Structure 1
Amino acid sequence: MPHPSPRHEIAHLGHVELFTPEPEKSLDFFVRVLGLTENGTDGDSVYLRTWDDYEHHSLKLTASTTSGVGRTALRASSEEALNRRVAALEERGLGIGWVDGDEGIGPTYLFRDPDGHELEIYWETERYVPPADLRPALKNQAQAYPGRGVGVRRLDHVNYLAAEAATNGGFICDALGGRVTEQIMLDTGVIAGQWTHFAQKSYDLVYTNDRTGSHGRLHHIAFATDTREDILRAADIALDNGVHIETGPHKHAIQQTFFLYLYEPGGNRIELCNPTGRLIFAPDWQPITWTEAERAKGQAWGLKTIESFHTHGTPPLAS
């Protein structure tokens, strides 16, 4: 019997853990400024959710001595798919083992990518049941729109910094059934960045080369807004709340995303994005490769890419 293809055995990005040395200020940012909703605590961690994610939480915010990314959780498409992906991870020697899942999540398998970032994969999940004051009028919506701050709709993607983007992107494709949708190739032939996806959304996990050659760092996590106009309003909300705007609103050439980049109080870069409905339906999609000269032109439109976008990552490196 032929071995089933790994394609589509990961259903979607589930949630991500973010470390912050400013837990109270970071919590205020995500709840009051971005509009997420608290949904429980666990020790030094707070669970937060966007209004259109169907699971228990979208973000796990954890107090720490420094900033950076913790575990990224991926939901498998079935229990059988979970077991097959676990076997593939163990074959590659990157598995850590089974752990108790976070609140709302069943048995979870913990592993690392080649760069050292921690990820986990699970199948069993608890669908969110909103309290009376958050119950939506429409039964096909996870919770009522909060009408607070930016009001981000869902967790969209994670962009890691890595010593070698291509090694990690290849791992996502080979072990987890992802697919590269777009990439950057330097004149030397080095792949400087890869955008990978699991389903129709054009990207879920991104790897870009860390200029310092370091391992395990974060470039940004991203939340999708309901409309492109929400990005413009988010810039005003950030201004009113003293939130550092790094760059934007502009439009990326890669993936055509309309974006705004902010720093949350713990120092992590947060992207607010509107992917403009771009979906990948072609079963035989071939990666779009951008050259060094094409990338030197900057964004699709808007200001040129600023230097901090290439140098800032978390956790910060010791000077």
Structure 2
Amino acid sequence: MSELAHLGPVEVFTPRFDASLAFFVDILGMDVVEQAGPSTYLRGWGDYQRWSVKLTARATSGMGVLGLRAWSPEALARRVAAIEAAGLGLGWTDGDLGRGDAYRFTDPDGHVFELYFECERYAAPPHLAPAHKNVPGRFTGRGCAIKRLDHVNLLAADVRANRDFCVDTLGYRLYERIELDDGSEAGAWMSATIAAHELIYTRDAYGASGRLHHVALWVDTREECLRAADIWVDAGIEIEAAPSKHAIAQGFFLYGIEPGGNRVEVTTGGRFVYAPDEPVVVWTEAERAKGQAWGVKTVPSFHTYGTPPVE
């Protein structure tokens, strides 16, 4: 078992705060939890923590801090010791809204993470209280009706170095990866759970560091992904890749660019890995050239676009 429980929450920077906030609230259907300074805290109706996305006004787009929750205080202490031994620790912070003390660090590419254990569970107000006690909130049905944060894809100058750090130091399981003909690694799909992926690294086409590829938000069915595409078209949201199915990890997807410039995915499905000795799936360059699961070619921008923009 990994000493990490799961990935998230995530902070997203936007240079067009009002337009981005309207996208996340009115179009994606997330709820505002709290406003604090330049940031608004948001949640999907199925997030058990108080929030899963922190939208922050900045001069440019990209990712701020990505949270990781440990299984226990003891697991947190052990992972902090491992991160410090790797020389990538930045030190302790007071945490964030509804979270206890957190340890801040970077991956080899410079993305900023916070590792924590203590956090508040979401307590729904009366108008959002669910009928059943085993779900945190009521299904709102607003916009795309996002349920929860699912995964984050980070761009990296060196995928293998970041993958090794996540597996060896943080304790992630590597489920799938892409190895090119020259032996280099173009992508790595990892998880702390049985889900096919929670944290992904893909190669930055420009060799830049610390950039974001996309943030993925979960809905329960493929039909909801299709409905999200209709909602985006009517709202004038740029669709980068229309709904289809990934070959890697088998997830169903819709990709678009929110008003602040960040790529956002609405996703569902994907394989689950139950076997403790599951072999790592290695995809070749020729196999990836075939496109996605149903033969749909990957759009070129998917390999080149990220945030913040490259100068």
Report the TM-score, using the length of structure 2 for normalisation.
0.99
Report Cα offsets for 1:8-28 as digits up to 9, x if no partner.
200001200000001000000
Residue matched to 1:284: 277
Instruction: Return the match for 1:188 from 182, 190, 207.
Output: 182
Is 1:301–2:301 an aligned residue pair? no
Is 1:15–2:9 an aligned residue pair? yes
Residue matched to 2:169: 175
- Equivalent pairs: percent with the same residue? 55
For 1:138 and 1:52, how far apart are their aligned partners in 2? 12
Instruction: Return the match for 1:27 from 12, 18, 21.
Output: 21
One-letter code aligned to 1:164: D
Instruction: Return the match for 1:267 from 253, 257, 261.
Output: 261
Is 1:54–2:69 an aligned residue pair? no
The answer to whether the Cα contact below 8 Å between 2:5 and 2:193 also exists between their aligned partners in 1 is yes
One-letter code aligned to 1:165: V
Residues 227-242 of structure 1 mapped to structure 2, 5 A cutoff: 227-242=221-236
Instruction: Return the match for 2:80 from 82, 86, 94.
Output: 86
* Unaligned stretches of 5+ residues in structure 2: none
Residue matched to 2:124: 130
One-letter code aligned to 2:151: H
The answer to whether the Cα contact below 8 Å between 1:249 and 1:302 also exists between their aligned partners in 2 is no
For 1:153 and 1:190, how far apart are their aligned partners in 2? 36
The answer to whether the Cα contact below 8 Å between 2:150 and 2:216 also exists between their aligned partners in 1 is yes
Report Cα offsets for 1:57-108 as digits up to 9, x if no partner.
0100000000001100000000000000000000010000000111000010
SS in 1 for 2:228: helix
For 2:266 and 2:295, how far apart are their aligned partners in 1? 16
The answer to whether the Cα contact below 8 Å between 1:248 and 1:302 also exists between their aligned partners in 2 is no
SS in 2 for 1:207: strand
Structure 1 position 275, deviation (Å): 2.1
Structure 1 position 154, deviation (Å): 1.1
The answer to whether the Cα contact below 8 Å between 2:153 and 2:215 also exists between their aligned partners in 1 is yes
Structure 1 position 52, deviation (Å): 0.6
One-letter code aligned to 1:237: I
SS in 1 for 2:164: helix
Residue matched to 2:241: 247
The answer to whether the Cα contact below 8 Å between 1:96 and 1:112 also exists between their aligned partners in 2 is yes
SS in 2 for 1:103: coil
* Unaligned stretches of 5+ residues in structure 1: 1-6
For 1:243 and 1:62, how far apart are their aligned partners in 2? 20
CA RMSD of aligned residues (A): 0.8
Is 1:208–2:206 an aligned residue pair? no
One-letter code aligned to 1:222: A
Report the count of equivalent residues.
311
Residue matched to 1:3: none
Residue matched to 2:61: 67
For 1:143 and 1:40, how far apart are their aligned partners in 2? 16
Residue matched to 2:193: 199
Structure 1 position 302, deviation (Å): 5.4
The answer to whether the Cα contact below 8 Å between 1:157 and 1:203 also exists between their aligned partners in 2 is yes
One-letter code aligned to 2:94: D
The answer to whether the Cα contact below 8 Å between 2:124 and 2:136 also exists between their aligned partners in 1 is yes
The answer to whether the Cα contact below 8 Å between 2:221 and 2:269 also exists between their aligned partners in 1 is no
One-letter code aligned to 2:101: P
Residue matched to 2:113: 119
For 2:255 and 2:136, how far apart are their aligned partners in 1? 26
Instruction: Return the match for 2:35 from 32, 35, 41.
Output: 41
One-letter code aligned to 1:113: D
Displacement over 3 Å in runs of 4+: none
Is 1:95–2:89 an aligned residue pair? yes
Instruction: Return the match for 2:151 from 152, 157, 181.
Output: 157
The answer to whether the Cα contact below 8 Å between 1:251 and 1:302 also exists between their aligned partners in 2 is no
SS in 2 for 1:41: strand
Report Cα offsets for 1:154-178 as digits up to 9, x if no partner.
1000000000111101111011110
For 2:186 and 2:303, how far apart are their aligned partners in 1? 11
Residue matched to 1:139: 133
Structure 1 position 249, deviation (Å): 0.6
For 1:14 and 1:139, how far apart are their aligned partners in 2? 23
